[in-house]
Amino acid sequence: MPNLRTSSLSRRGLLAAGGALGLGAALAACGGDEKGSASAPGAGKSGPWSFEDDRGRTAEAPSTPKSIVAFVGVAAALHDYGVEVKGVFGPTRTSDGKADVQAGDLDVGTVEVLGNVWGEFNVEKYAALAPDLLVTAMWEKDALWYVPDQSKDKILALAPSVALWAAQTTVPKAIQRHEDLAASLGADVGAKKVTDAKAAFEKAAARLRAAARSKPDIRVLIGSASQDLFYVSLAKMSADTLYFQELGVRFVEPKVNSAGFFEELSWENVDTYDADIIMMDNRSSALQPDALTSKPTWAGLPAVQAGQVIPRTTEPVYSYDKCAPVLDALAEAIEKARKTG
């Protein structure tokens, strides 16, 4: 993860680099994610296709799109519903060529990678795919995640686009919107694989609710690390942690900066907040706990000494299959946690 300074990066760029942990969801319970597809599940294979996205815009095509290009996390969610894409952009491969954590179960060797880092999107390769549809996430209203502003107009001129909220929503709502899109693209959302995954998700949610209720004194801190700074996020500002909060998980509440989303702490002040569990940003752009062992203030944190540091799936793949394990992991951590202070 690069050495970040808030003043030198746009908010979206800082989010992508791992410094912040999700954008606004203060009004998530009534967020704009109730729109539906104009197509019934599995429909649209031989006739006109349309889908109203979370910008309130309707994407249209003469027939169901087949040449789909998507942000890697959205592509991974569509894959879980049986909808495959031709190209992806966003963190797809790590430096050793393996699948990035955000790629889910995608076979990253068979998709065209148009850009692997923030600001990178090969428009020529995109055009060569003859795209029928571009799909991405949206952390800020009308801002297309990982679609560079400098080439956005050229990109959007080549195919219809769909944007789905990754903030200002909660996990179940985000999953439903990805499922709506998959259904419009021909997925069988009633397939046993999907219904089994939904049942597992609901079971995991009940488990997390019960764990939080059984240990009301456990406090969780949401962290992300760079070489110079440690970021503490406000839970209500991100879809996953807002949902965990709704299920009863108690989070540390940082004194956020003027943007309202997170607080930047120097490593000398990383012990500002007491926490029993630390959830650490698992994206490849953020420093992971094993890279922090040389920082004495990190090593001295009670949660670190207690072995109560867990990964946080900061940008979830919004399918039931991928989100159920996330809930189970946090439930297990709370079940096993002890007070550290």
110-126: b (≥16 Cβ within 10 Å) or e: ebbbbbbebeebeeeeb
Output DSSP code: residue 234.
-
Residues 275-303: tens digit of each pLDDT? 999 999 999 889 999 999 999 999 999 99
Nearest to 340 by CA among 258, 253, 262, 277: 277
Residue 170, burial from CB neighbour count under 10 angstroms (0-12, 13-18, 19+): buried
* Number of other residues whose CB lies within 10 A of the CB of residue 188: 14
Q: Give me the mean pLDDT over the 249-253 stretch.
A: 97
Tens-place pLDDT, residues 162-201: 999 998 899 999 999 999 999 999 999 999 999 999 999 9
- pLDDT of residue 235 exceeding 80, the answer is yes
Give me the amino acid identity at 182.
A
Give residue-wise pLDDT tens across range 104-116. 999 999 999 999 9
Which is nearest to 31 in space by CA: 259, 314, 236?
236
Residue 13 pLDDT grade (very low, low, confident, very high; cuts 50, 70, 90): low
Q: Which residues contact 89 (CB under 8 A, 6 or more apart)?
A: 69, 70, 71, 72, 113, 114, 115, 116, 120, 121, 136, 146, 147
Q: Angle CA(333)–CA(101)–CA(289) in degrees, nearest 5?
A: 50
Exposure pattern of 142-168 as b/e (b: 16+ CB <10 Å)?
Answer: ebbbbbbeeeeeebeebbbbbbbbbbb
Has this prediction a pTM greater than 0.95? Answer: no
Q: Is the dihedral of CA 258, 262, 267, 272 positive or negative?
A: positive
Contact 1, 17 (CB under 8 A): yes
